[in-house]
Amino acid sequence: MSVAKGNGLNKYCGRVCSVFFQDSLGKEMEQSKNLRLFYVVSGKILIDLSQKQAYELEKDGIYVVNPEEQYRLSTKKGIVACIEFSQEEIYRLLNGKRRVVDCNSAKIRNGSLDNIIDQIRRLLGSIFRNELGTVAFEKNGYEILLTLFSEYSEELPNDDRAEQVKLWLENSYREPITLEEAAEHFNLTPQYFSRWFAETFDTSFLKYLSATRCENAREELIRTDNTILKIALDNGFPNAASFTRTFTNIYGQSPIQYRKDKQEEEESKFLSVDKVLEHIQYEDVNENKIQEVMVDCDGEHEWLSPYWLSICNVGRISTLASYDVQNQIRILQSNIKYNYARVILDQEEWDYSTGFYEEDKAIAFLYEIGITPIFIIDYRICEGNDNFIIWLHEFLKYNVHRFGMQDMMMEVVYDSLFNHKQAVKYNKFIKEIRKIADEVRLGCKLAGPGLLLTSDGSNLASLMSEDVELDFISIRCSPLEIYQDEEIKVRMMKDQDFVIHQYQLAMRIAKSRGMNQKIIITSWQNSISEKDSLNDSSWLAARIVRSAILGYGILPSLPVENPLDITQRNPRETNIFNGNSGLITMNELKKPAFYAYKFLAHLDEKFLYRDEHMIVTSSFKDYFQIVVQNGCPLSYQYYLNGELDMVDDRNIDQLFESRLPYRTTLVLKNVADCGWFIKIRRVNEVEGNVLKAWQSLNYQDMSFIGKDEMELLRYASCPTMRGLHVESKNGELRIPIDLEPNEIQHIHVIPER
């Protein structure tokens, strides 16, 4: 296998990062101006830090060293890969912001670390496939960098002038900058800036700039085969002679002699790829290759368990009494058919003397459309409130007599980090609720506390340590990672499968505590913010389908946190689309996300197959229903910049790491040889996309919306459809599948006999 190298050294260089391997590590402390990620290929390594901390890392262990941070690696029988990221490229990607990375596998172990390990293996694999300098190598490097900064970093204050100047020079030295230009950049006079610079850095501006240029040129001398002239020009020198003169004054050697000596020295430090290859696991994936998906339709298959239809969050019980809200819930139920609805109990005074008119109207409506209510109690509001205890007693008694309730479910939500005192008080409140249910002779299942897990699940572990008397443990899922250092901090996660990983973390904690309660997910949020234009886009539809498919057989439920925009209404909002997370707009327009759940609701009784892109079901071999998705992974710019005001043609390419189509051939085996009619419903960035239709109108708000425009938007919100006639031969039916970026499809296969 051929290996591409940067210059004859065993160091592999690209724009965003370079990679090298070592097995004999230095005894002295060292540091780099670049960000370095160390990955243990085999054996063990010990990393010592200047703060007298040390961590031992085993195979697949990861540690990130920030620029200028001192460290020392040691190993006896280990091989470590160092991935060094260009600080200049980082500066460009972060728009000059300063961030520090904290990624240490000795302290962190969760699903996103498994994700970054896969990314590292793909990067190393691109080296062994001779893809150095190609899109594959760069893409893999950027993926790792994005994960580090989106999930394991925090922004540093940028108010220190010395740090600002140093950072600016580190990323501007290639340009022909002068002292006057630097002073103007920082809004200072040249005289003051020159004096301040000399006092702060103990050298003149020009000497510091020359040293910076030479230091970066020195790196290029060692790791590239570029000519002296090219290195000089690339690092801000006007010509080779100027570079040679300045370099010799600083290092005491000419660039040519320095390169010769250092390359020989560096060659001995790094392992050749042949010595490393046997220890590496890497992905050999050709993204452009169209593969076939084979599904055997014969034999016994399990019944489909559509867990994504189990729960709907309908909001506050006072809002549920509204005609407009009820009308939209009817639309959801007629298309998706939920089993349960989470209803938040809300009253300002908890006064039952006026009766339960609104509550009765809301509950009767739910029973009418075939949904069983789950009542939600907010612990923070209701704990210690004597009026609430009296109100709840009367409310439950009313339900027993009015609706003939014999059993019900309630959830007591309390999203907290949970210390011992909080857990004890919460458990006391749970017992009080259970006592009220017993008094009115109502069988009651209690769930709680609706936690958003910390990164290590310590808040759930703290709650469980008190043996809280709950029948179900409820959690919420979000692409946010909560952790506690000196204070509570939140950072964004790039992990696409955060729902599965957070649920599995909860399961591991419950198992370790010997708890037998079932864990349920009572809400999940797909985007970073509750108001994000991605919520109105087809990307969300693809994300929902992907999560539903991959969670099949793992997750117990997958309810959207707020399925209706109307329950999130802000009276000052004048736009149809405001980035709310609902499936339906306030004007009853169906978003792409609505069709994600509708397509899933159409799946047949028998489960046949699933992978990352599709789920295949059948109705006793005669009919087939298939749902397919091609969601695009979000880019580093989205994770670093947060919520979006609008998704449109101007920024859509910047939002995603890649926007590739998905093409495959689905082969259904052991079917009848006959003609088949295939219905294909599509929703993507253009088709069946009401957001795109609204943007094409170019209206600023709803002021000029009339009947004709609403009819146009309702029509545009419907999936496009097309038919296809295919003949099966020798028991095989071959169905071509072709999806654009961020597209979902519902494919209905019907025999023509």
Q: How many residues does the chain have?
A: 753
- Tens-place pLDDT, residues 370-414: 999 999 999 999 999 999 999 999 999 999 999 888 889 999 999
- Domain 11-153, what architecture? Sandwich (2.60)
Residue type at position 66: N
Q: What pLDDT sits at residue 282? A: 47
Lowest-confidence range among 8-12, 217-221, 297-301, 708-712? 8-12
Q: What is the DSSP string of 336-380?
A: T--SEEEEE---SS---TT--HHHHHHHHHHHHTT-EEEEEEEHH
Q: How many CB atoms lie within 10 A of CB 406?
A: 9
- End-to-end CA, the chain: 54
Percent of the chain with pLDDT over 70: 87
Mean pLDDT of 111-138: 74
Judge contact between 456 and 481, C-beta under 8 A: no
Lowest-confidence range among 39-43, 156-160, 245-249? 156-160
Burial zone of 477 (CB within 10 Å; 0-12 exposed, 13-18 middle, 19+ buried)? buried
Note every long-range contact of 425-431, with CB atoms under 8 Å and residues 24 or more positions apart, other chains counting.
Answer: 425/383, 426/379, 426/383, 426/463, 426/466, 426/468, 427/466, 427/467, 427/468, 427/469, 429/379, 429/382, 429/383, 430/468, 430/469, 430/470, 431/469
Cα angle 699-704-708, degrees, rounded to a multiple of 5: 95
pLDDT higher than 50, residue 1:
no
pLDDT higher than 60, residue 609:
yes
**Nearest alpha-carbon partner for 309 in 552, 587, 617:** 552
- How remote is the C-alpha of 472 from its chain's centroid? 27
- Tens-place pLDDT, residues 710-729: 889 899 899 999 999 999 99
Strand segments (E) across 5-133: 11-13, 17-22, 35-42, 45-49, 54-57, 62-65, 71-74, 79-85, 99-101
pLDDT higher than 50, residue 534:
yes
Q: How confident is the model at residue 44 (pLDDT cuts 50, 70, 90)?
A: confident
Quote the tokens at residue 407: 């059993």
Q: How confident is the model at residue 492 (pLDDT cuts 50, 70, 90)?
A: confident
Q: How far apart are CA 340 and CA 307, in angstroms?
A: 12
Q: Rounded to 5 degrees, what are φ and ψ at 552?
A: -60, 130
Q: What pLDDT sits at residue 10? A: 60
Mean pLDDT of 157-181: 82
Q: What pLDDT sits at residue 289? A: 46
Q: How far apart are CA 137 and CA 313, in angstroms?
A: 44
287-304+532-551+571-753 fold: Immunoglobulin-like (2.60.40)
| pTM of model > 0.75 | no
Strand segments (E) across 600-731: 606-610, 614-619, 623-630, 662-669, 675-683, 720-727
pLDDT higher than 60, residue 647:
no
Strands 606-610 and 720-727 come out as unpaired
Q: How many CB atoms lie within 10 A of CB 248?
A: 15
- What are residue 188's DSSP bridge partners? none
pLDDT higher than 60, residue 674:
yes
- What are residue 523's DSSP bridge partners? 476
Q: What pLDDT sits at residue 234? A: 87
Residue type at position 218: R
Q: What is the dihedral of CA 194, 199, 202, 205, to 10 degrees?
A: -10
- What are residue 88's DSSP bridge partners? none
Q: How confident is the model at residue 286 (pLDDT cuts 50, 70, 90)?
A: very low
Class of domain 161-252: mainly alpha
**Looking at per-residue confidence, does 172 or 205 come out higher?**
205
Q: How confident is the model at residue 9 (pLDDT cuts 50, 70, 90)?
A: very low
pLDDT higher than 80, residue 641:
no
Mean pLDDT of 556-574: 81
Quote the tokens at residue 404: 């003939």
Q: How confident is the model at residue 640 (pLDDT cuts 50, 70, 90)?
A: low
Average pLDDT, the chain: 84
Strands 662-669 and 45-49 come out as unpaired
Which 3 state secondary structure label does DSSP give 616? strand
- Tens-place pLDDT, residues 297-351: 988 889 999 999 999 999 999 999 899 999 999 999 999 999 999 999 998 789 8
Mean pLDDT of 52-81: 85
| Domains of the chain by residue range | 11-153, 161-252, 287-304+532-551+571-753
